[in-house]
């Protein structure tokens, strides 16, 4: 059974940085996509970044140039390096995974992912 466990959230001032981690286990797909989503209070969950097992990366426009998604296959760990954080980045951040590459159409869509972590809170103060 696939398990995803996020860590690394916390509180930071505007302009600061955080690195989120997602430890994955039970994953047996030869090709896959892993992603980060976030959900702020009262808002829908939105895709932030995703990475295919071949290294292709995808970003939401709101985080391009500030966030970097990466993976360490030896450690089965997904990362999200977040720089130049803004108060509007405040949200619960979730790790997600799916078997197979990200579909070529559209953005980073919640419905395309099958497995989810419990989330880690990121709070950015002004």
Decide if pLDDT at 22 tops 90. yes
In this predicted model, what pLDDT tens digit does every residue of 38-60 receive, in sequence order?
999 999 999 999 999 999 999 99
User: What is residue 29's predicted lDDT score, i.e. its pLDDT?
Assistant: 85
**Is residue 81 within 8 Å of 67, Cβ to Cβ?**
yes
**Is residue 11 within 8 Å of 123, Cβ to Cβ?**
yes
In this predicted model, what pLDDT tens digit does every residue of 85-111 receive, in sequence order?
999 999 999 999 999 899 988 899 999
**Tokens 């994955």 — which residue?**
24
Average pLDDT over residues 59-74: 96
User: What is residue 1's predicted lDDT score, i.e. its pLDDT?
Assistant: 87
Host H or E run for residue 32? strand 32-39
Helix (H, G, I), strand (E, B) or coil at 104: coil
| Residue 7: both structure tokens together | 């860590």
User: CA-CA distance, 114 to 53, in Å (whole number)?
Assistant: 16
User: What is residue 106's predicted lDDT score, i.e. its pLDDT?
Assistant: 84
* φ, ψ at 110 (rounded to 5°): -55, -40
User: What is residue 72's predicted lDDT score, i.e. its pLDDT?
Assistant: 94
**Tokens 């290294």 — which residue?**
55
User: What is residue 122's predicted lDDT score, i.e. its pLDDT?
Assistant: 98
β-strand pairing of 32-39 with 18-25: unpaired
* φ, ψ at 89 (rounded to 5°): -85, -5
**Is residue 83 within 8 Å of 20, Cβ to Cβ?**
no
């Amino acid at each position: 059974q696939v398990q995803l466990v996020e860590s690394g959230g916390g509180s930071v001032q505007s302009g600061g940085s955080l690195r989120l981690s997602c430890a994955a286990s039970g994953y047996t797909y030869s090709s896959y996509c892993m992603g980060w989503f976030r959900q702020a209070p009262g808002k829908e969950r939105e895709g932030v970044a995703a990475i295919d097992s071949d290294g292709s990366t995808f970003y939401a426009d709101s985080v391009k140039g500030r966030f970097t998604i990466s993976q360490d296959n030896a450690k089965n760990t997904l990362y999200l390096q977040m720089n130049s954080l803004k108060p509007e980045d405040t949200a619960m951040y979730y790790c997600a995974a799916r078997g197979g590459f990200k579909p070529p159409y559209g953005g980073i869509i919640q419905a395309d992912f099958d497995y989810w972590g419990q989330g880690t809170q990121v709070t950015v103060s002004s």
